[in-house]
Amino acid sequence: MVGNNVSHANNKTKRRFNPNLLKKKFYLEEEGMWINLKVSAKGLRTINKLGLDAALRKAALKGKLSL
């Protein structure tokens, strides 16, 4: 997403709104191993709410996973 920085003098310069991505390590119980994921802040909240297995299944169905 793009937008403008607007100064006090109303000067406008282009800027980008980047997603809030975090590198996080999770323990995958069914595999018995640790995995590293790059997740957004909202994705992290979804994992905390649903659990890692359910969140991964939901992301796979929506086509949001990249390997």
- Asked whether residue 34 is assigned to any structural domain, the reply reads yes
Question: Judging by beta carbons within 10 Å of its beta carbon (0-12, 13-18, 19+), is residue 55 exposed, middle or buried?
Answer: buried
Residue 65 pLDDT > 90, yes or no?
A: no
Q: Residue 36's beta-bridge partner residues?
A: 25
Per-residue pLDDT of 10-59, as tens digits, reads: 999 999 999 999 999 999 988 899 999 999 999 999 999 999 999 989 98
Question: What is the model's pLDDT at position 38?
Answer: 92
- Asked whether residue 44 is assigned to any structural domain, the reply reads yes
CA distance 55 to 1: 25
CB of 58 closer than 8 Å to CB of 50: yes
Number of domains in the chain: 1
Question: What is the model's pLDDT at position 67?
Answer: 64
CATH number reported for the structural domain that contains residue 51 in this entry: 2.30.170.40
Give me the DSSP letters along 32-59.
TEEEEEEEEHHHHHHHHHH-HHHHHHHH
